[in-house]
Structure 1
Amino acid sequence: MSSKLNPSTHHREFSGLPGAIGITIGLPVLITFFALVTNESYSLQGINLDFNAIIKQIPKNQQEWISLVFDKTCWAAYLTWFFVLVLLDFVLPGVHMKGVKLRDNTQLDYKINGLAMSGCLIALLIARVYQSSDYFLPELQFIYDNQLKLTLVTTVFSFALAVFVYVLSFVPLVKPNGLGTRERILSVNGNTGNPIYDWFIGRELNPRIGSWDIKLFCELRPGLLLWFLINLSCVHNQYHKFGKVTDSLILINLLQAFYVFDGVLNEEGLLTMIDITTDGFGFMLSFGDLAWLPWSYSLQARYLSLPENSITLGRAYVAFIVAVMVIGYYIFHSSNKQKSDFRQGKLDHLNLASIKTKTGSRLLCDGWWGASQHINYLGDWLIGWAWCLPTGFQTPLTYFYVIYFGTLLIHRQTRDEAKCRAKYGKQWEEYEAKVPYKIIPYVY
């Protein structure tokens, strides 16, 4: 339904309904496959699958499926995890910041408390270690021993949450919006009128319960921090079963923990990113945040935790991988900071080359942003390589992330390019002439 505030969506992402259905089915199957080929019953070696070993792990009848998907203990554990984090989001102190201006000329208020949230989790883990006998934490062992069940729990929960926010998008606001109506602001991508597609892509832009923002919470809380705990559970299991932890598993934990907490501690940066400003919150983000992120991003640690995949890297290779991570992070962080400082006028004294657009904004085409249109994506991709390299070259499975993430970055780049071409017109053509490379300088 179209209105002044919410025009109808005509463009379809992911090839429309067929793509939405394919992703909705395919990605949950994929992370379930990851659980079936990285466990103590079977671990994939090379590229040859042992289908018999995989089939043996799959339930044979309806009752076994119900027991697997709806395990009471796993559901109780995950719901406790999710809603305790919700409670902490309310009670922990934080800084209140305004988001971008919305179509009704209002700005939403966000509570930024990543530092307090991270500190609380770390303090709790340290306290549990001191209380434990021989550093054994039942909670971490529970995560490791129930990877398949928890994968299915997070998947089903993300489906349910997507249904909830879709239904919520039809409920009128309690207080009038900036235009004096009770109409919710819908995503520019999710107002097609097709319930399946809108449910998938996200109908409402910023679904909220009172002042609590569901989308921002899910972006940086349950899934991201669960990823950290899954990785820790792999270290915990390897130490208690084999009496030592390999340098490859320690390295992947340190590199990814740095990334996790860097994201949580800098959550205000999300307020201007496309996930928050443009995308609705539907199944795509719900599943991506709560299930896909923790269970696909932890693939390397789960693989390395198994004895048959044990790898000792040595100091030289560790140093090389750390260097790749540092270079990637430096490019990612410094390029984003340069753009942010430029937009705030902090770099005006440098007279960086830019193009003034018809909207009054300026397109930076100097410094990092003279090298490529999305130089920050290159940094992010290099970070991904640093996560995969510790697994050696025993199987292409552990390099799934860099392939997937590279594809995702290209998709984001094409979306952004289409948006900018429509928004800036001839100024964008001028910008492309000055900065021809999309992501990797002199390559693409």
Structure 2
Amino acid sequence: MSKLNPRTKHKEFNGIVGSSAITIFLPLILEIFQLVCNPSYSTKGLSIDIHAILNQLPSNFEQWYDLAFDQTVWKVYLIWFFGLAILGQILPGKQLEGTELRDGTKLKYTINGISMSIALVVLLLARAFQVKDFQLPELQFIYDHQLQLTITCIIFSFVLAIFVYVYSFVPLANPNGLGTKEKILSVNGNTGNVFYDWFIGRELNPRIGTWDIKLFCELRPGMLLWFLINLSCVHQQYHLKGYVTDSMILVNLLQALYLFDGVLNEAGCLSMIDTTTDGFGFMLAFGDLAWVPWSYSLQSRYLAIPGNEITLGWFYFTAILLLQFVGFYIFRSANQQKSDFKNGKLNHLKSIKTQTGSNLLVDGWWGISQHINYLGDWLIGWSWCLPTGFQTPLTYFYVVYFASLLIHRQIRDDLKCQSKYGKDWEKYKQLVPYKIIPYIY
């Protein structure tokens, strides 16, 4: 094994057992969500009727095959995925370099989330004014084919993960045209175990030409599909009821603000652990392409079911909106403060000088907790769930799941920093003892 790509010794998610459980059960959870959000099944109350859900399932292989491989749905999804990939290559944007890789090089990225978002919104507005009574067949297609689209996204993420795993063994051409050079593998995905490396991601930054598959999947097909799924629920409620409830409007408004903030600030992804450390395998492919659009849209899909409409009124509407902005302010200002400190703009803030030469910030937002930005992100999640009221615990799945995800990230970061900074990290934790929520955790 080369010095550039040392063998991975530590396995995340409890190794094969945990990664196998995630691979099997998370797709099943998405299917359960979809079946529960079927208009023919009532989700009111605290109980979930498993028999009613199971009765909706196909009874034979032919029906399952028709659901999983609906030709029209597959054509639509492939046009969506690769159409966005092509747009990402031709739309204008700024050129940025990523963090320095282990071989001393830096990858170049085209950051054009703004032009991509404008193109999508302009296209939707043009279609809305073109049709009569805002009856968009594209949005109706999404709403009417939720189960098929969910299965398609899951299968496609499996296929994409297989492709990038096999592609990681294809030699990389040297820029000077002389022979090949070694690809940079993920520090987490080079165990030699085929299944685990496929799951966690073997290659750090799989690319075809200038198309960076990982960054593209991070923010484009899944995040923007989430936006369209939400709009399809608004479209359905309006044409079914003749009006759109304030709870549906609020969920769409708050989630659109969050997802477009992510797309418009995609440059921030270049320094995230997903980009700098994690390989691109099934975990990220499934998370980006299937989990995000079909679990994060759960609130809108629930509210679109006849009988689940909720009217909040101005007081609760304003209170939930305020909660979103508090969470958003903490999240954005904390991240901005950290970025400014790294760029030498806030040298007056207190920090710890480490033996590695870097500084650990222990002032401002980052003197309150080690991951204060996670708290802001979690509060945002609560603002998405509260508009659904308290008719069912189903719509609060996101805040429970997201809390576990944030804690897992915090634990991973703690282990990474302990290994990197040693005694300096122990000193840091004494000065900033709270991990996410001040005085609680």
1:126 equivalent in structure 2: 125
**Aligned counterparts of 2:300 and 2:186: Cα–Cα separation in 1:** 36
2:371 aligned with 1:371, yes or no? no
**Aligned counterparts of 2:49 and 2:338: Cα–Cα separation in 1:** 49
Which residue type is aligned with residue 364 of structure 1?
A: L
**Aligned counterparts of 1:330 and 1:47: Cα–Cα separation in 2:** 33
For residue 174 of structure 1, report the CA deviation from its aligned partner.
1.3
1:427 equivalent in structure 2: 424
**Aligned counterparts of 1:338 and 1:136: Cα–Cα separation in 2:** 45
Asked if the contact 1:328–1:382 (Cα under 8 Å) also holds between the matched residues in 2, the reply is: yes
Q: Secondary structure at the match of 2:172?
A: coil
**Aligned counterparts of 1:406 and 1:51: Cα–Cα separation in 2:** 26
Which residue type is aligned with residue 368 of structure 2?
A: A
**Aligned counterparts of 1:157 and 1:197: Cα–Cα separation in 2:** 19
Q: Secondary structure at the match of 2:197?
A: helix
For residue 57 of structure 1, report the CA deviation from its aligned partner.
1.3
Q: Secondary structure at the match of 2:255?
A: helix
What TM-score do the two structures reach when normalised by structure 2? 0.98
Asked if the contact 1:36–1:57 (Cα under 8 Å) also holds between the matched residues in 2, the reply is: yes
Which residue type is aligned with residue 312 of structure 2?
A: L
Asked if the contact 2:46–2:391 (Cα under 8 Å) also holds between the matched residues in 1, the reply is: no
Structure 2, unaligned stretches of length 5 or more?
none
2:353 aligned with 1:356, yes or no? yes
1:253-268 matched pairs, under 5 angstroms:
253-268=252-267
Which residue type is aligned with residue 415 of structure 1?
A: R
1:262-341 matched pairs, under 5 angstroms:
262-341=261-340
For residue 181 of structure 1, report the CA deviation from its aligned partner.
5.8
Asked if the contact 1:215–1:281 (Cα under 8 Å) also holds between the matched residues in 2, the reply is: yes
Two-structure CA RMSD over aligned residues (Å): 1.2
Which residue type is aligned with residue 129 of structure 1?
A: A
Asked if the contact 1:176–1:183 (Cα under 8 Å) also holds between the matched residues in 2, the reply is: no
1:394 equivalent in structure 2: 391
Asked if the contact 2:230–2:297 (Cα under 8 Å) also holds between the matched residues in 1, the reply is: yes
- Cα deviation code 1:31-52 (max 9, x no counterpart): 0000000111113222322233
Asked if the contact 1:176–1:182 (Cα under 8 Å) also holds between the matched residues in 2, the reply is: no
Q: Secondary structure at the match of 1:279?
A: coil
2:142 equivalent in structure 1: 143
Which residue type is aligned with residue 327 of structure 1?
A: V
1:205 equivalent in structure 2: 204
The aligned length equals: 440
Asked if the contact 2:205–2:279 (Cα under 8 Å) also holds between the matched residues in 1, the reply is: yes
Which residue type is aligned with residue 399 of structure 1?
A: Y
Which residue type is aligned with residue 421 of structure 2?
A: Y
- Cα deviation code 1:242-293 (max 9, x no counterpart): 1011000000000000001100000000000000000000000000000000
**Aligned counterparts of 1:55 and 1:372: Cα–Cα separation in 2:** 45
2:406 to 405, 409, 420: 409
Which residue type is aligned with residue 99 of structure 2?
A: V
Q: Secondary structure at the match of 2:191?
A: coil
Which residue type is aligned with residue 271 of structure 2?
A: T
Asked if the contact 2:173–2:180 (Cα under 8 Å) also holds between the matched residues in 1, the reply is: no
2:423 aligned with 1:438, yes or no? no
For residue 60 of structure 1, report the CA deviation from its aligned partner.
0.7
For residue 54 of structure 1, report the CA deviation from its aligned partner.
1.2
2:173 equivalent in structure 1: 174
- Cα deviation code 1:347-372 (max 9, x no counterpart): 12xx2110011111100000000000
Task: Indicate the percent of aligned positions where both proteins have the same amino acid.
Answer: 67
**Aligned counterparts of 1:338 and 1:52: Cα–Cα separation in 2:** 51
Q: Secondary structure at the match of 2:42?
A: coil
**Aligned counterparts of 1:118 and 1:51: Cα–Cα separation in 2:** 40
Q: Secondary structure at the match of 1:393?
A: coil
**Aligned counterparts of 2:129 and 2:52: Cα–Cα separation in 1:** 40
Q: Secondary structure at the match of 2:99?
A: strand
**Aligned counterparts of 2:303 and 2:340: Cα–Cα separation in 1:** 40
Which residue type is aligned with residue 28 of structure 1?
A: P
Which residue type is aligned with residue 371 of structure 1?
A: I
Q: Secondary structure at the match of 2:96?
A: strand
Q: Secondary structure at the match of 1:355?
A: strand
What TM-score do the two structures reach when normalised by structure 1? 0.98
2:92 equivalent in structure 1: 93
2:37 equivalent in structure 1: 38
For residue 176 of structure 1, report the CA deviation from its aligned partner.
5.8
**Aligned counterparts of 2:312 and 2:335: Cα–Cα separation in 1:** 32
**Aligned counterparts of 1:392 and 1:186: Cα–Cα separation in 2:** 46
1:116 equivalent in structure 2: 115
Which residue type is aligned with residue 314 of structure 1?
A: G
**Aligned counterparts of 2:50 and 2:440: Cα–Cα separation in 1:** 39
Which residue type is aligned with residue 398 of structure 2?
A: Y
Which residue type is aligned with residue 12 of structure 1?
A: K
Q: Secondary structure at the match of 1:134?
A: helix
- Cα deviation code 1:150-178 (max 9, x no counterpart): 0000000000000000000000001269x
